[in-house]
């Protein structure tokens, strides 16, 4: 069972830190290299007076993914769920802090980054293809 401080230390040792705040940490995976720009954020939140973790990783802008498609994709996602945050989609995963160790949490964060990166590449390539096609049609 990890504490918030133990988790923070494990994240600092394993990932490249972008933000380090009291209630959240933002970081980039060091390995594999293709994830070097896939931001992951871990926030400490309360559920029934217990500490939980909210893991988030950006996927694409809202305009890149129709809402119906996002809901369909949510049904098949093995890691996390898509959520809309202002003008962009995030892949979201929630874990109880009290039932996981820091190594397991770091592994879940990396898995979330891998899946968010995969989805980001799919949706961005779709948007780029549409933009390229509209350039030739206009």
Q: Where are the domains of the chain?
A: 4-137
How far apart, in whole angstroms, are the C-alpha atoms of residue 65 and residue 44? Answer: 28
For residue 128, the model assigns a pLDDT of: 52
Mind listing the pLDDT tens digit of every residue in the chain (138 residues)? Answer: 788 999 999 999 999 999 999 999 999 998 888 888 899 999 999 999 999 999 999 999 999 889 999 999 889 898 999 999 999 999 999 999 888 788 899 999 999 999 999 999 888 766 554 443 443 444
Architecture of domain 4-137: 2-Layer Sandwich (3.30)
Q: What is this structure's pTM?
A: 0.86
């Amino acid at each position: 069972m990890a504490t918030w401080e133990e988790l923070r230390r494990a994240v600092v040792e394993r990932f490249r830190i972008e933000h380090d705040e009291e209630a959240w940490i933002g970081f980039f995976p060091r390995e594999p290299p293709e994830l070097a720009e896939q931001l992951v954020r871990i926030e400490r939140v309360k559920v029934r007076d217990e500490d939980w973790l909210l893991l988030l990783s950006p996927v694409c802008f809202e305009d890149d993914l129709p809402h119906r498609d996002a809901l369909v994709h949510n049904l098949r996602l093995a890691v996390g769920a898509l959520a809309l945050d202002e003008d962009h989609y995030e892949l979201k995963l929630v874990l109880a802090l009290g039932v996981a160790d820091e190594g397991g949490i770091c592994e879940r964060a990396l898995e979330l980054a891998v899946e968010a990166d995969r989805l980001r590449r799919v949706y961005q390539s779709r948007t780029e293809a549409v933009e390229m096609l509209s350039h030739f049609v206009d």
